[in-house]
Structure 1
């Protein structure tokens, strides 16, 4: 009996290997197309992870990464006692939460209201205009913002002086700098971020709206009770993915707009790493800060995903 069982298992394994080979041959074109992005991911995302070792070492370029001495987690202890780092951590959380409140919700509202437009030409025009800022780099956008809010020649301060007010240097004001960040971020990304919501709205069955109309529902009722609930799965997944970047406060935007006068409210972990790592040439310490940031993001993503999965059917995995 035992030899028969072994023979049967060997036949099953051989059949499985044959089926796998036939599948690989049949789908070889798709696997070849997948090969390039896999190589890109391995070379530019996974291979550099070897460099994370310098976060645990006193890195000396002459010795290289592996030969440099271990530092017994000294960089992490230094980090937690560094006032500038703790200030950057606080600012990062504050700016990221505000971005989550405004930058994440505004595209949803924009998509909902854009969907209610009945003049298709006007709707397409608004969509096209809202997409354009996304394709501008933050260098260009920051230059535009500097000119618009300039105390001497900016249109905003020109309006303020027309009404009898004094010019305001928005980019050097701790009070106005963060609102300016939020406004420019929403303006730049609202159209592009709304694309996925508009696509989800387009996939909603028209029969749901027809049934609601037959029950006397108006456009507001259909938006609240049909459109918005249908977007919940997409909103949940995008929200979870956004949480993974909660400690990314918008490096490109802030680097091009901030200055030492607003470091107290605008300095975030990414700009802190940039100054410490590249300007002060402390690669090992900046690697420790970057590793801390990424670990916190992964932990938040995993925890919140598990909480969401407990109370709903949605999640990243």
Structure 2
């Protein structure tokens, strides 16, 4: 067996989600290769070569892959995929856009949002907003899989290791789409999906000004900020901070839910957190059913006290 990991990166460094996908691949007991496609991204390939478990790095370094657009990147993957039994990528926006196209080009099914690899042909994935787990077996000759990053730890970097880097001369132009621009939120806080601590605010905060309390608490703890869909829809914060089934899936060491009732869609995005703390004035709120610690009361009284005590 041989596994190919599709690297998500910004032409400067490997994403944490890719390192988690590499760690997931370790359950397959097969040789692991990483495909790095981009422009002027040799340093990304060098970084990938030092990730524990990686035996080979394939580098497609060309301007046509600068933005890793799915239209031609999927064709590149299909070109090199025949020698592999498994193709993995993180279930991020990048992976969700790319991997279905790869599966279609290879004429195989896709195993999506996988949280456990049981064997070479069997995986576990959540269904019904995470309320049930399905054990899925695939008989396809090539398994195309997206990995839920929150379910896996980061693969270790081993500086003394250096897997060989092989350059690919396959150049596939993209005549269907054109990259226009990318709008990215700049923040000194940790990235939401990779943060050790996440503090999320919900509709109970009342308005965007009150969200400053969530930010203060997150800054005190060195964490990232998140939000429920209700808070995003109300315009309290931007949608890139949404945690839930239709937002980001997180599993930090500590998750603090402030003014969040606990709709099933939100719980699906954070219930795998190691420790969950809920602050809500409704003792019957669903969030308390999964919380390890709960504070019932007025968040506008509790949060300032909590911030002051830290």
* Superposition TM-score, scaled by structure 2 size: 0.21
Which is strand-richer, 1 or 2?
Answer: 2
Question: Which one has more relative contact order, counting CA pairs under 8 Å at least 6 apart?
Answer: 1
Q: Which has more radius of gyration?
A: 1
